[in-house]
Amino acid sequence: MNAPQDMSLQPALTPAQRSVFVRDGFLVMRQLASAERLNAMRSVVLDHVERHVAPIEYEADVAYPGAPESRSAEGGDTPRRLRQAYDRDRLFADWATDDRLTAIVAQLLESDAVWLSRNHHNCVMTKSPRYSTATAWHRDLRYWSFETPRLINAWLALGDETPANGCMRLLPGTHRMHFNADRMDADKFLREDLAENVELIDTAEDAALAPGDVLFFDAGALHAAGANATDERKLSIVTTYYGFDNAPVPGSRSAQLDPIPARMAPHA
């Protein structure tokens, strides 16, 4: 276990910030990582992309519309996710368990202690200028198996994220909504051919981020992202957390790798 955190370093959310998260299911906190830290992480990411350091998910693997047909097709070996960020490099492990980051997560989860999942996200998202694909509207929870749906993702921008390079888009309030199965397609993406879904999608908000900003979002919030239409690779680190009042279902994919105790209760 990590040593008890120094509480003086830890940001307290304002009541307004908490209310936004409860209402919308997401919250952006600015400048949580220093330029020095971002540069160090970017260097590791670019090196791992260049050398194809496994485990990697390629654009061809996701088979989203417009993706290369196979890994051997043109653009098929474009990395989309560098998986297992926590075990990939100490810099990512330090970020995933950073005191200020987990202090915010703890407040959003309303749990003194926080687990980091190594089975979900725990990756560097790389959106390349060529061959990147858009991600349709979905909830991250769709294939996850936990006792409760109370999980939070932290999405750190290593560079600028804008609509032009495929920043995240979210549908406010959808983490609290129930959707009948027929509003989703076979892969559990929100169907865009239904009038009621189109009306909901019209409420989308872009999460434009500057380097060092973090988007916190409830794993039940519907979100999507475009392809990267710029000349520069977009890089983000995405980590997933849950409180000590939650646990993965034994035997499920969510329980495959042991979680990391990212934060202990004070004086535990």
Ligand X SMILES: O=C(O)CCC(=O)C(=O)O
Binding site for ligand X (CB under 6 A): 125, 127, 135, 140, 166, 223, 225
Judged by CB, which is closer to ligand X: 223, or 233? Answer: 223
Q: For residue 92, which of 64, 61, 121, 52 has the smallest C-alpha distance?
A: 121
Length of the chain: 268
What's the closest the beta carbon of residue 238 comes to ligand X, in angstroms?
Answer: 7
User: Smallest gap, in angstroms, from Cβ of residue 138 to ligand X?
Assistant: 7
CB nearer to ligand X: pick between 117 and 135? 135
Question: Closest Cα partner for 154 from 242, 229, 75?
Answer: 242
Nearer CB in complex with ligand X: 114/225: 225
- Kindly provide the b/e burial profile for residues 8-46, where b requires at least 16 CB atoms within 10 angstroms of the residue's own CB: eebeebeeebeebbeebbbbbbeebbeeebbebbbebbe
Q: How far is Cα 197 from Cα 213, in angstroms, rounded to an integer?
A: 29
Q: Is 65 exposed, middle or buried (0-12, 13-18, 19+ CB in 10 A)?
A: exposed
Q: Least distance from C-beta 135 to ligand X, angstroms?
A: 3
Nearer to ligand X, 139 or 150 (CB): 139
Residue 161 forms beta bridges with which residues? 209
Minimum separation from the CB atom of position 167 to ligand X (A): 8
How many Å apart are CA 30 and CA 215, to the nearest integer? 9
Residue 24 or 140: the one with the smaller Cβ distance to ligand X is 140
> Least distance from C-beta 187 to ligand X, angstroms?
12
